Amino acid sequence: MKLNPQEKAMLDGKEGPATQKAMQILTTLGKIYGAEKLIPAKSVQIAGVSYDNLGEAGLSFLEEMATGGGKTRTITTLNPAGMDIENWEKLGISPEFARNQNRVLEAFSSMGVNTTCSCTPYLVGNNPNYGDNIAWSESSAVCYANSVIGARTNREGGPSALAAALTGKTPAYGYHIEENRKPTVSIKVNSSLEGTYHFGALGLAISKKLDQHTKKIPFITGISSANLEELKSFCASIATYAGAAIFHMQGITPEAYLYDQPSQSLEINERDIDQAKLIISSKIEDEEIDFVSLGCPHLAINEIARIAEILKGKEVKKEFWITTGRPTKKTADSLGYSKIIEASGAKFATDTCCVVAPIKGRFKTLVTDSAKACYYGASKNNFKTLLLPFDDVVEAALK
Ligand code: F3S
């Protein structure tokens, strides 16, 4: 890899041990993937923030980078943590977990990271532009950035994203290269879609058809409209079930017009969508439901407004978590939505989510509108899951 004098100085340790380590990570990755050079990373988002996932080994690495003088050189935010940073007790998090989670956040903070914890960085001020090279690591956000924004990122791991933050650089390979962003398979959707849960089911339905293909960049046609909430749900689902880091949607995503439809073509019809819903929905009686959650990926303010509209003057009967980024929660506070929602007994789980919080064993049955939350609810926490439309999820909490 060709390095410029500043990059060489970083690699030689002239800017401190943490920057040196970061440069070693990036040059090693670059060599493995055949990158010729490093390019500026205009934005970074780091996953691996919950102490539940990091453990002591991950925390030691972060503390080593912090004491080694690491400082961010580009806008950097975090993925959700394992708890609501301000209201962890309300969510039943133990003081010991909270202590360790705070050590993680302190390590990031001392490196100059903005400790806003959200998987929708584009909703909370870390919002790159079309064509920007960035280094994000949350899979749903990576898919959103590449596909919906038209920014360019590989699916970074926590350490490589931190390395990008501490050097302001990322190796030029993978989705940073135009050639690698070309669609490889056409997918015609012959089904009307409405709402986050339909778009989540679509991600799973596509993954079932893509199984036999190794390189998966879908060019999707047949969808007449998709709003921000639907696209973030779809990104989370197709990243989870198909491992996709980019797709193009004709008439909707910004790079779709650059490409011809690939000749290999698949179809998704209503039956495929219905089957996908069934795959992640168990047969569940109302009285079995003990956990309801909205906000995977983190909620936008419009979605919180809708929850407030439905819950106004009512009382929830189930544990109901509303997960979002802190800046969005603050907007909800100022618009009066939080007061209405909290008066109903529903809880904001700000900075965290129903997957990264340490809740295994506390609940048995999760109801949500998110296909991704169904996947991890079952695989990580052994929950039975039920996928419902957004409004029906709120109604389920009231029964
Ligand atoms: Fe975000 Fe947690 Fe879902 S990190 S995408 S809310 S699993």
Condensed to tens digits (0 to 9), the pLDDT of residues 137-160 reads 999 999 999 999 999 999 999 999
| Domain closes at, from 237, 256, 279 | 279
Distance 46 CA to ligand 1 centre (A): 13
In this structure, what CATH number is given to the domain that contains residue 313? 3.30.499.10
60 and 80, same domain (yes or no): yes
Mutate which of 324, 372, 375 for ligand 1? The one with the most ligand atoms within 8 Å of its CB, which is 372
Confidence grade of residue 216 (pLDDT, cut at 50, 70, 90): confident
User: Residue 305, class by beta-carbon neighbours within 10 Å (0-12 exposed, 13-18 middle, 19+ buried)?
Assistant: middle
CB 162 within 8 A of CB 22: yes
State yes or no: pLDDT of 208 exceeds 80.
Answer: yes
- For residue 162, the number of C-alpha atoms closer than 13 Å in the C-beta half-sphere is 31
357 — phi, psi (to 5°)? Answer: -75, 150
Tell how far the Cα of 297 is from the centroid of ligand 1, in angstroms.
5
- Phi-psi group of 259: left, alpha or beta (phi > 0 → left; psi -120 to 50 → alpha; rest → beta): beta
Structure tokens at 154: 């590989």
Q: Mean of the per-residue pLDDT values for the chain?
A: 96
Residue at which a domain ends, from 149, 178, 207: 178
Atom of ligand 1 nearest to the CA of 119: 1
pLDDT, one tens digit per residue, over 341-363 is: 999 999 999 999 999 999 999 99
* 116 and 264 fall within a common domain: no
Looking at 279, 304, 335, the residue that finishes a domain is 279
**What percentage of residues in the chain have a pLDDT greater than 90?**
97
Same domain, 42 and 191: no
Q: Which residue has the tokens 């943590």?
A: 81
Among 119, 201, 206, smallest CA distance to 389 is for 201
Q: Give yes or no: residues 169 and 259 share one domain.
A: no
Average pLDDT over residues 214-233: 93
What domain range is 353 assigned to?
A: 286-398
> Which atom of ligand 1 lies nearest, measured to the CA of 323?
6
Predicted pLDDT of residue 214: 61
Can you tell me which residue has the tokens 């309300």?
Answer: 90
Question: Which of 270, 180, 266, 174 shows the shortest CA–CA distance to 220?
Answer: 266
How would residue 103 be classed by pLDDT, with cut points 50, 70 and 90? very high
66 and 50 within one domain: yes
Query: Would you state the pLDDT for residue 215?
Result: 67
- Could you give the percent of the chain with pLDDT greater than 70? 99
Angstrom distance (rounded) from CA 232 to CA 7: 35
Q: Which residues contact 339 (CB under 8 A, 6 or more apart)?
A: 333
Closest protein CA for atom 6 of ligand 1:
296
Average pLDDT over residues 262-282: 95
Instruction: Specify the pLDDT at position 150.
Output: 98
| Largest Cα–Cα separation, the chain | 65
Ligand 1 binding site (Cβ under 6 Å of any ligand atom): 79-80, 119, 140, 236, 296-298, 323, 353, 355-356, 372-373, 376
| Tens digit of each residue's pLDDT (9 = 90 or more) over 126-139 | 999 999 999 999 99
Residue nearest to atom 1 of ligand 1 (CA): 297
Please, is 187 exposed, middle or buried when counting C-beta atoms within 10 Å of its C-beta (0-12, 13-18, 19+)? buried
Q: Which ligand 1 atom sits closest to the C-alpha of 236?
A: 5
Q: So what's the pLDDT on residue 264?
A: 85
Q: Which atom from ligand 1 is nearest to the alpha carbon of 140? A: 5
Give the E-state strand segments of the chain in sequence order: 38-40, 43-46, 75-78, 135-136, 169-171, 185-190, 218-221, 248-249, 265-269, 291-294, 319-324, 347-350, 365-368, 384-387
Residues 6+ apart with CB under 8 A from 6: none
Identify whether residues 203 and 267 lie together within a single domain.
yes
Is 302 a residue whose pLDDT tops 70? yes
